Chains A and B, each alone.
Chain A
């Protein structure tokens, strides 16, 4: 471990001297927030009310929410992809596709279901690094599941795993996020709590967690908003009512 951390002791010694304190384990001074505002904000709302909040918010971040039932999910997604001109569609290797009946996106079963676009899967394992990044950069569309939808900010939350890398969310030109309605939470607080507790329980987290609020954008030229910069140019959240 020592070679992984360099110059630490002198550096910290200077700080403790200037602060006039002794070093102690962080457990001896846990942070106790003075108020519970993050948890109180938008609390006590039903899933329908939260969805309403999210729908209002996404108008301001140039994103569409499409509501559907599980039975119509496949049709809705195919229609969106078609509207964007089909082409290459990047998919995570994710069992949830099969669970919700999207067999056409299941890495083991997709070949049995024909569609109007090319499908490519994010391959598991470090050996596929270059291939996955290359595929993502060529993809017209990516489709992935959201872990949460944060109502207040209209953000989806995604976590990396072997079958779903980081650049899957950023390199493709268009992006569809599938959001089970049950996964709408009031705000970023609940997502942060979820991952905090997951870590506290000793479970492994993906190496990257992203809260994404619509398409990439920039106000750097005369503060005029440009939608679509490095990341996706267009983003749609498909909220599935019965999931």
Chain B
């Protein structure tokens, strides 16, 4: 799957999303529920704005000195006897894990939820290896795996697009489950299946919420307990982390854990907040063999550019949860494993404009994402910046006719052109205008409305009616001028 989840063009994906009524309802319900939980958790903490500023400061500081912290972190992992592999590309990361599995003759791999492992396509590689079995152990990811590796659609709730009955059917078909569709019973079934596999697993693969530079340990935040089993039972552990996922000390990790839990799920802390590395000599469980793969895979494209702040992201998903576009098109609409506002900013940075150039346009720039981000990434401004780079720097044409935009640029800066456009607008729209069936009052008082417009107007009138503009002599500036002349004031 990798970064890109669909070969279909955006318009086709949007049509698919529009047809998926269950998904839309599920997402809307989730957004509404999360809104209350998240805002409640933030209000309860108090001083939310100052907490965000602190979160932003921690992330900005770490990214600004990223090479230094990565050096310190990797030294500390090595001091404990762990191994660190720096991977420039997804392929290098994947190959490293593959070599390790073959070398160690690994048979059973347990994975706890990690966006990065999806980004580097670990699962298909594992499935291709003969004699190797893999199990996703986050409940949502497990459900997707059982459903023939369906794509995730949210970075915190990957199976948000599925309902309980769909899940029951999958469990019945794949696991011989005989029970009803109550979530608790489905979850117990999954627990049993996964527990058995856990106890036999010889490798665990995890992501990383934060890597603690001064101690060489990994901070993981989960609710289900699967990550903790993944770092306890198997003898070998591989951590896959994006290179930006680092903090100076446990103290900063703790602040971010708090921001993350409240923003992602409206909790005070996630049920399990774990700091762990390679097991100590005298301890009996935990990884004897501990590997950390640090991944660039396009992240460094953001450094030193306006997009550097996108690396501040702590993957809380709250920008998805407030996004009115995500609300309707869902995760799959974006065609990237990183959907929503953060995905629309991050995906083009990682995968380029050729693959993801449309995503920055799939936003009304309402700014809800920027407002909610716990580390203050100016997401909607970065969407405009992507658009600017594509038009002004790269000269990429984009759907909207380049010529028309340039005409608008002229028109909106030159009073006489604007004025003549206004004069023509009324006359020019005469044949298109309708006066019948006006149900909305005080909107169409200057000659009705247009319901089938040409050119640029078509996009508007495909969806809703457009007021017919008043005559030039009736517009506001004419009124004001005439009033002055008449000596009214």
CB–CB under 8 A between A and B in the complex? yes
Contact check, A196 vs B71: say whether CB atoms are below 8 A apart.
no
- Which of B158, B217, B228 makes the CB contact (< 8 A) with A231? B228
Taking a contact as CB atoms under 8 Å apart, the answer to whether A195 and B225 are in contact is no
Name A206's contact: one of B51, B65, B283, B304 (CB within 8 Å).
B283
Q: Within 8 Å of chain A (Cβ to Cβ): is B134?
A: no
Distance, CA A129 to CA B285, complexed state (A): 5
Of B139, B214, B280, B283, the contact of A218 (CB 8 Å cutoff): B139
Least CB separation from B224: chain A residue? A229
A26 touches B213 (CB 8 A): yes
Number of A interface residues in the complex (CB < 8 A): 94
List residues 184-232 of chain A with CB under 8 A from any CB of chain B: 187-189, 191-193, 195-196, 199, 204-224, 226-232
Residue interface mask A109-151, B partner, CB < 8 A = 1:
0000000000000111111110011100100000000000010
Binds A, one of B229-237, B351-359, B424-432, B467-475: B229-237
Set A34, A161, A221, A230: member contacting B194, Cβ < 8 A: A230
Chain B, range 437-482, C-beta contacts under 8 Å to A: none
* Contact present for A41 and B45 (CB under 8 Å): yes
Residues of B within 8 A of A57 (CB): 268
Provide the residues of chain A in CB contact with B278, threshold 8 Å: 207
Q: Does B129 belong to the interface (CB within 8 Å)? A: no
Establish whether residues A221 and B274, one from each chain, have CB atoms under 8 Å apart when the complex forms.
Answer: no
Given contacts A129-B285, A221-B167, contact A19 B303 (CB under 8 A): yes
> A221: which of B51, B164, B255 is its contact (CB, 8 Å)?
B164
- B281 near A126 with CB under 8 A, answer yes
In the complex, B284 has a CB within 8 A of chain A: yes
Given A26-B65, A137-B195, A196-B249, are A166 and B183 neighbors across the interface (CB < 8 Å)? no
Residue of B nearest to A130 (CB): B284
What residues of chain B lie closer than 8 Å to A219, measured between beta carbons?
157, 223, 265
Cβ A167 vs Cβ B233 within 8 A? yes
Q: Which residues of A contact B81 (CB under 8 A)?
A: 4
Closest to B53 in A: A34
What's the minimum C-beta distance from A135 to chain B, rounded to whole angstroms?
11
Q: Is the CB of A216 within 8 A of B224?
A: yes
* Closest-CB distance, A56 to chain B (whole angstroms): 11
The reply to whether the CB of A66 lies closer than 8 angstroms to some CB of chain B is no
Q: What are the 4 A-B residue pairs with the smallest beta carbon separation, nearest first?
A: A231-B225, A208-B276, A192-B254, A216-B225
Which residue numbers of A lie inside 8 Å of B, CB to CB?
Answer: 1, 4-8, 10-12, 14-16, 18-21, 23-26, 29-31, 33-35, 37-38, 41, 57, 61, 122-129, 132-134, 137, 150, 152-155, 160-162, 165-167, 169-171, 187-189, 191-193, 195-196, 199, 204-224, 226-232
Q: List 26 A-B contacts (CB under 8 A).
A: A10-B86, A14-B88, A19-B66, A23-B68, A26-B65, A26-B69, A34-B53, A37-B47, A37-B54, A38-B54, A129-B284, A162-B282, A196-B249, A199-B250, A204-B280, A207-B277, A207-B283, A209-B276, A213-B273, A219-B265, A220-B143, A221-B164, A221-B167, A227-B184, A230-B226, A231-B271
